[in-house]
Structure 1
Amino acid sequence: MHSAILLIEFGSLLLGLGLLGRLSARLGFSAIPLYLLAGLAFGEGGLLPLGASEEFIATGAEIGVILLLLMLGLEYTASDLVTNLKSHYPAGLVDFALNALPGAAMALLLGWGPVAAVVLAGVTWISSSGVIAKVLGELGRIGNRETPVILSVLVLEDLAMAVYLPIITAVLAGAGLAAGSVTLAIALGVAGIVLFAALRYGRVISRFVSSDDPEKLLLVVLGLTILVAGLAQQLQVSAAVGAFLVGIALSGEVAEGAHTLLSPLRDLFAAVFFVFFGLHTDPASIPPVLLPALGLAVVTALTKIATGYWAARRAGISVKGRWRTGGALVARGEFSIVIAGLAVTAGIEPSLGPLATAYVLILVILGPMTARYTEPLAMRWSRRFGRGGDTPGPVLPSKDTRAEAQVAD
């Protein structure tokens, strides 16, 4: 009887997610907010709480995080990461200062303490690579001159997560300074070894994994990823970081083939993850934190626009491209929920999960709008007040092969 109820609940949930995904595609915005709302509806205090399938969904959610980070890793080669780190690290520092500090300040103002401040800083810092990539494709901006700058900021954020996640894992576990330092040292050591191996032996690793049979390739890549993620977690390093590093180590045709095969699985389990996060948030707990979430969303939307504008200006992009860069970076999503989910699981601050949910819901809806309208609104404002755009400087050459097609402003 228990297994039958589990199948009924889980099947109904997947069917509902499929219908929500179709609805979001028809409406033209990300499905993430709908998945979060579905979790709120099926969670504690919701309309129809789940019972038998919650443990099964928890496992699926963990796989969802692993696949999200694996797919992000597959987007970049080790040489891409090294190049971006050398060329664009000032933009990463500005991004951190402008977007992480408001989250930390809000947590301290609410009296949540330093641990919650570190968590909320991560929630407000990291943009949603998935939502931004989708929006750029829909707006036809993949080949624009500013797109390599956007990708560079996202790459630096992904790299920062390889350091941040082990730190936050140790902090949430209550580890002391010595234990936390050991955890961070292990994480940095593993990341360094993987990057070195990917740079020096990337082709050898890819040949080992490679297979002409899609079934065998899928099994090897998925099995290797989950195995490494489990080993990383056993070493007190985030499983997500392990998956991200596996993605970086794979390159060429193997990475392309794995990306194609794993994309449907990633979408499935990522949807389950967002639902699982919603399951652990009581809808009644959101209204009390809605005003702080809205204020934080407005502030960090403006700081992301400022970050993108500064980074694009440094790269010699024209004024219109600078505003497009800033507007495109506003959306928050998967990483923000991953970070908040760690805190919710650790039971740090009861209100942090609801605030993060409301915050992501606001910005995942606002993000596509700022990507579309920031530049025309800024240009209209400039013309109205007689402020013409300054002359763009020379455009720095980009080594990102995914943005080689250059489209004039």
Structure 2
Amino acid sequence: MGGAFLAAALLARVGGRIGLPTIPLFILAGILLGPHTPGIVLLSDPHDLEMLSALGLVLLLFYLGLEFHLDDLKSGGRRMALAGGTYLLLNVGAGLGFGFALGWGTSEALVLAGVLGISSSAIVTKVLVDLGRIGNPETKPILGIIVVEDVFLALYLAALQPILSGADSLAAAVLDGGKAFGFLLLLALAARYGTKLVGRLIATRDDELLVISFLGAAVFMAGVSEWFGVADAIGAFMVGLMLGSTTSGERIRKLVHPLRDAFGAIFFFAFGLSIDPGDLTGVLWPVLAAVALTLAMNVLAGLAAARIYGFGPGPAANISTTLLARGEFALILATMAAGAGLDARLSPFIAGYVLLLAVLGPLSAGRSSLLARALPGRTPAPGGV
């Protein structure tokens, strides 16, 4: 683990001098020091970092929840749902069509719909933090789209699981989906009405006790969410959403920073460990086609979201590029597909697709002004000007 931290830090320092984002460098460190490349092998089994990687994802989404205030949900719920729904319609629909066009099978097409359709919450969060855009006006619709995606993700996984496992019981599929939806509804009600109670329970002047309390709450709720068939990160996000609105919210944001950054790096490093570069050559052209399709759909979705919120070309470009990256959810689907015995080309395709967008996403987000110049200038600015 020490080697993983040091390798990630070294590459990030070198990349920072030439303007590269940290995320793909953390992934590259995992590839270079993993079992699939010659030279030094820090870990022969990527699962050795599984718990630490999961903790990194939980903390990234917990921080995202801290930054997404309940007032934003109350005031912009309709526009958030419309922007998120439009994003999903364009990207998931394109992913499904692309999956059928490849001709790998119906189950494979359903998996690819999710792979191409859902942004990486972890990478989106890291990009917003690294670029200092948390306070930007277009960040609210970006986070809103992420929330809609996470809700869709929970229902999508609940529906996909019986298909991949070969279950032929419609009742079982409906039961799993209902359980997941019910738990999501319970979390939403707790976030809406339980904030004051949670704030009183967690309040303390001792930073040590506060760290233990919010970390325990985030990880525990992530585990409970997973037990209910909901993505673990959603539970952590909802805890962050509640705690961010309490009197301790600002202190928690400061205290969680070093934890988020350290274990977030391990999450991306562990992703790199799972990638075998040798498997990527056979799926190179499908990967490039999928990346081009995702770029096009994200530009359209960014323009649509900007029009919904009354933004101009600059914010539209920021929305398009920030949401471009794919990551942790695609890896979950790759694992599910491998366990279900689907087409062997699926796993290397997903690895290549995610790695390429993990590099292009942060790079394009940092240079979104170039895209803004090419977008239609008639997009309405804030206030309808």
Conserved? CA contact 2:92–2:113, under 8 Å: yes
Is 2:358 aligned against 1:364? yes
1:277 aligned to 226, 246, 271, which one? 271
- Pair 294,222 (structure 1): closer, same or farther in 2 beyond 3 Å: same
> Paired residue for 1:385?
none
> Paired residue for 2:378?
390
- Pair 53,212 (structure 1): closer, same or farther in 2 beyond 3 Å: farther
Shift in Å, 1:147 = 4.2
Is 2:186 aligned against 1:198? no
Is 2:107 aligned against 1:119? no
**What letter matches 2:286 in structure 1?**
P
**What letter matches 2:34 in structure 1?**
G
- Pair 78,377 (structure 1): closer, same or farther in 2 beyond 3 Å: closer
2:7 aligned to 1, 12, 16, which one? 16
Structure label with greater radius of gyration: 1
351-360 or 171-180: which moved more? 171-180
2:103 partner SS: coil
Shift in Å, 1:283 = 1.8
1:188 aligned to 173, 181, 193, which one? 181
Conserved? CA contact 2:330–2:350, under 8 Å: yes
Conserved? CA contact 2:311–2:379, under 8 Å: no
**What letter matches 1:20 in structure 2?**
L
1:104 aligned to 93, 96, 106, which one? 96
2:219 aligned to 222, 226, 235, which one? 226
Could you list the runs of 5+ residues in structure 1 that have no partner in the other structure?
A: 1-9, 383-387, 397-408
**What letter matches 1:282 in structure 2?**
D
Conserved? CA contact 2:68–2:143, under 8 Å: no
Shift in Å, 1:361 = 2.5
Shift in Å, 1:303 = 0.9
> Paired residue for 2:348?
354
| Residue-by-residue CA offset, 1:138-197 (whole Å, 9 max, x unaligned) | 666665554444343333334433433444455545554322222221121111112112
> Paired residue for 2:255?
261
> Paired residue for 2:82?
90
Could you list the runs of 5+ residues in structure 2 that have no partner in the other structure?
A: none
Identity rate, percent: 37
Query: TM-score, structure 1 length as denominator?
Result: 0.80
CA distance in 2, matches of 1:323, 1:71: 24
**What letter matches 1:120 in structure 2?**
L
- Pair 268,31 (structure 1): closer, same or farther in 2 beyond 3 Å: same
2:30 partner SS: helix
1:253 partner SS: coil
1:56 aligned to 48, 52, 74, which one? 48
> Paired residue for 1:178?
171
- Pair 247,187 (structure 1): closer, same or farther in 2 beyond 3 Å: farther
Conserved? CA contact 1:65–1:338, under 8 Å: no
Conserved? CA contact 1:62–1:273, under 8 Å: yes
CA distance in 2, matches of 1:298, 1:309: 17
1:266 partner SS: helix
Shift in Å, 1:378 = 5.8
174-183 or 298-307: which moved more? 174-183
Shift in Å, 1:206 = 1.9
119-128 or 78-87: which moved more? 78-87
User: What's the RMSD between the two structures over aligned residues?
Assistant: 3.2
| Residue-by-residue CA offset, 1:90-120 (whole Å, 9 max, x unaligned) | 2222211211122223333333333333332
**What letter matches 1:30 in structure 2?**
P
| Residue-by-residue CA offset, 1:284-340 (whole Å, 9 max, x unaligned) | 101111221111111111110111111112322234543444344333344444544
> Paired residue for 1:318?
312
CA distance in 2, matches of 1:138, 1:235: 33
| Residue-by-residue CA offset, 1:341-367 (whole Å, 9 max, x unaligned) | 554566644333322222222223323
Conserved? CA contact 1:46–1:282, under 8 Å: yes
| Residue-by-residue CA offset, 1:13-37 (whole Å, 9 max, x unaligned) | 2221221232333333332222322
Conserved? CA contact 1:166–1:184, under 8 Å: yes
- Map 1:94-173; keep pairs closer than 5 Å: 94-129=86-121, 131-132=123-124, 135=127, 145-169=137-161, 171-173=163-165
1:33 aligned to 24, 35, 52, which one? 24
CA distance in 1, matches of 2:209, 2:164: 38
| Residue-by-residue CA offset, 1:345-400 (whole Å, 9 max, x unaligned) | 66644333322222222223323444455554564x68xxxxx833736627xxxx
> Paired residue for 1:405?
none
**What letter matches 1:188 in structure 2?**
F
Conserved? CA contact 1:128–1:335, under 8 Å: yes
Shift in Å, 1:279 = 2.6
